Amino acid sequence: MRDLSLRDLEMAGGKFFDDSGREDPRYHLDNGFPSVAVMTLYHLPIVTAVQRLALPQHPRILDLGCGNGALLAHICAARPDCVPCGIEREPERLGYLAALFERHKGEWHVGDMFLSHAPWREQKRYAAALLMVGRLTEARAASVQHLLHRLRGQVDHVIGYAYPDWIARYGGFAELCAAAGLTPIPALGPADFVAPVRL
């Protein structure tokens, strides 16, 4: 698997379209970014973190709170054999998937990442899961424990990440992870806001 450049990610991001088939300039807003360039800058270290994992062929990668699938699309650009999987509680965000992924590629679920059983049915295993760490600080303790139990039992690697607003709120990525009950492995992280985490 080759390293991706920012240009590669920009090209992958260019696959977003609106219903008329034209490029949709709004898709980055769906993910809370002011521009495609900023989204790409923050996605690249997460893609790199996944690239550094010793993953099998055709790895199933689960994005917890996948939004419109942009991050998984960037990962698939680096690793075309991966099986993108995502759960998102706002179904309208999943409307971009047809523009991003080949027909029938991946598994997509509408639901709350803390409460939904859909991604975990039939004891499905995932090579990696992507988790915005701050989400754990917003949920009820019982819901967090339910999710962590699933992750421990059915996921080989968890990549934790956070964006500047969360890091500023807690004073650092390690501090945010501690508040969420996670332990980052910074030596394996490509940036100061993303790293594999121990649950």
**β pairing state of 194-198 and 107-110:** unpaired
Whether 75 is in a domain gets the answer yes
Q: What is the mean pLDDT of residues 185-190?
A: 78
- The beta strand positions in 66-113, using DSSP E, are 83-88, 107-110
Q: What is the mean pLDDT of residues 116-135?
A: 96
Whether 1 is in a domain gets the answer no
pLDDT in tens, 169-185: 999 999 999 999 999 99
What residue numbers bound the domain in which 83 lies?
A: 6-198
pLDDT at 155: 98
Position with higher pLDDT, 93 vs 149: 149
Whether 192 is in a domain gets the answer yes
pLDDT at 27: 64
65-74, 131-140, 175-184: least confidently modelled range: 65-74
Helices then strands, counting H and E runs in the chain, come out as: 9, 7
Whether 150 is in a domain gets the answer yes
pLDDT in tens, 153-164: 999 999 999 988
The C-alpha atoms of residue 157 and residue 137 are separated, in whole angstroms, by 20
| Percent residues over pLDDT 90 in the chain | 60
Whether 64 is in a domain gets the answer yes
pLDDT at 136: 97
pLDDT at 1: 39
pLDDT band at 33, cuts 50/70/90? confident
User: The domain that contains 46 carries what CATH number?
Assistant: 3.40.50.150
Does 7 score more than 60 pLDDT?
Answer: no
Count how many domains the chain has: 1
The C-alpha atoms of residue 142 and residue 148 are separated, in whole angstroms, by 10
Whether 194 is in a domain gets the answer yes
Element at 168 (helix H, strand E) = helix 164-170
Q: Are 62 and 84 in contact (CB under 8 A)?
A: no
- pTM surpassing 0.95? no
Whether 113 is in a domain gets the answer yes
pLDDT at 188: 73
125 phi, psi to nearest 5 deg: -110, 150
Q: What is the mean pLDDT of residues 7-34?
A: 53
